[in-house]
Amino acid sequence: MLLDYQSILDTIHREVQPLLREGKVADYIPELSKVSPGRFGMAVYCLDGRTFSAGDADVKFSLQSITKLFALALAFSREGDVIWTRVGREPSGNPFNSLVQLEYERGIPRNPFINAGALVITDILATRFVQAEIAVLQFVRMLADEPAIDFDRIVAQSEQDTAHRNSAIAYFMKDFGNLHNPVASVIGSYCRQCSITMTCAELAKAGSFLAQHGTIPWSGMEILDASSAKRLNALMLTCGTYDAAGDFAYRVGLPAKSGVGGGILALMPGDASIAVWSPGLDATGNSLAGTYALERFTTLTARSIF
Ligand code: GLU
């Protein structure tokens, strides 16, 4: 049944207004703290080609950890299951930038969505491609059919200047033999990758292949086979929203990946992909208004994976 997502998005846009000043904009990357917490955008890309949007859906924002999903999809599509010898598939139960588990798990990160795991994926891409972050950028440009998508070099530099913890994680993994390229170049690639900016409308389109079982809906190009796409969806559900994936699944009921820029990409397999952005974060690091918006979306549409 075709639903009128536009009236649902308009309702949600109205409902989130009181929440927009409640979250806290990330400030550990200094450049990110300059974004106004009052922004809110949402876009739905239906697999039949219909699109819907509300609010600031055409304003670019910093993707940050959402790029980890695209980097993982690229690495998985090229390298296959061998990537799981270097990174796990379990929720970490720890903050996304934690070091502690790495010591007793001998440099193998719990999953590809915590920073340690994402750095391993960057390292895998750096071995395969001339420049890992360029490979990810070209990949998302192709997925969104938007050649103007780019890095934000000021955000990238801001993160690189303060990347002490990520560097520590990378050195730690190198000591365990789980980082093959030089730490400085992996960190540089990772910071540039995280700085990619997109609009909600672009992000929903770029993620739609994961809702369409691995195949880009508008071009028919297969990025991942259906089984691999299922596996990435499962990882998003269990590990994609920081240390709150259980609560996010309880509230929203969709696989999703969030980022400290305040964006969330959520998937309704076989139906649509949804991107939402609001930079104010809750205590777990997920967009406060964004999570609420997705919770309302699956409630009002009565659609989720459950
Ligand atoms: N570039 C950010 C970092 O490594 C990404 C964090 C995030 O969005 O979760 O700290």
CA 194 to centroid of ligand 1, rounded, Å? 7
Residue nearest to atom 4 of ligand 1 (CA): 115
CA 29 to centroid of ligand 1, rounded, Å? 9
DSSP-based three-state secondary structure for 55: strand
Does domain 65-194 correspond to CATH entry 3.40.710.10? Answer: yes
The tokens for 243 are 């240390």
Beta bridge partners of 46: 272
Write out pLDDT tens, residues 246-287: 999 999 999 999 999 999 999 999 999 999 999 999 999 999
Rounded mean pLDDT of 105-109? Answer: 93
- In the residue annotation, 250 being an active-site residue is answered as no
Rounded mean pLDDT of 43-64? Answer: 97
Please identify, by atom number, the ligand 1 atom nearest to the C-alpha of residue 28: 10
CA 159 to centroid of ligand 1, rounded, Å? 9
Asked whether 156 lines ligand 1 (CB < 6 A), one says no
Instruction: Note the pTM of the prediction, 2 decimals.
Output: 0.97
Write out pLDDT tens, residues 148-195: 999 999 999 999 999 999 999 999 999 999 999 999 999 999 999 999
Is the Cα torsion angle 17, 303, 266, 254 positive or negative in sign? Answer: positive
pLDDT at 212: 98
Q: Which stretch, 69-73, 99-103, 104-108, has highest mean pLDDT? A: 69-73
Write out pLDDT tens, residues 201-255: 999 999 999 999 999 999 999 999 999 999 999 999 999 999 999 999 999 999 9
DSSP-based three-state secondary structure for 118: helix
pLDDT at 1: 62
Domain parsing of the chain, residue ranges: 5-61+198-301, 65-194
pLDDT at 99: 86
Reported confidence tier of residue 96, pLDDT bands at 50, 70, 90 = confident
- In the residue annotation, 104 being an active-site residue is answered as no
Return the percentage of the chain with pLDDT > 90, whole number.
Answer: 92
Neighbours of 246 (CB within 10 A): 13
pLDDT at 2: 66
Task: Name the more confident of 60 and 21.
Answer: 60
Please identify, by atom number, the ligand 1 atom nearest to the C-alpha of residue 115: 4
Lowest mean pLDDT among 35-39, 92-96, 130-134: 92-96
Lowest mean pLDDT among 60-69, 103-112, 173-182, 289-298: 103-112
Note whether 5-61+198-301 and 65-194 share their fold: yes
pLDDT at 55: 98
pLDDT at 21: 86
The CATH fold assigned to 5-61+198-301 is Beta-lactamase (3.40.710)
Computed over every residue of the chain, the mean pLDDT equals 96
Asked whether 65 lines ligand 1 (CB < 6 A), one says yes
Q: Could you give the CA distance from residue 228 to residue 221 in angstroms, rounded to a whole number?
A: 15
How far CA 212 is from CA of 69, 92, 229, 232, 301, in Å, comes to: 16, 28, 8, 12, 19
The tokens for 116 are 């340690």
Q: Could you give the CA distance from residue 197 to residue 83 in angstroms, rounded to a whole number?
A: 26
Reported confidence tier of residue 95, pLDDT bands at 50, 70, 90 = confident
Q: Could you give the CA distance from residue 136 to residue 118 in angstroms, rounded to a whole number?
A: 12
CA 216 to centroid of ligand 1, rounded, Å? 27
Indicate the top mutation candidate among 33, 65, 257 to test ligand 1's pocket, ranked by most ligand atoms within 8 A of CB.
65
Beta bridge partners of 262: none
Task: Name the more confident of 2 and 136.
Answer: 136
Q: Could you give the CA distance from residue 189 to residue 270 in angstroms, rounded to a whole number?
A: 33
- In the residue annotation, 68 being an active-site residue is answered as yes
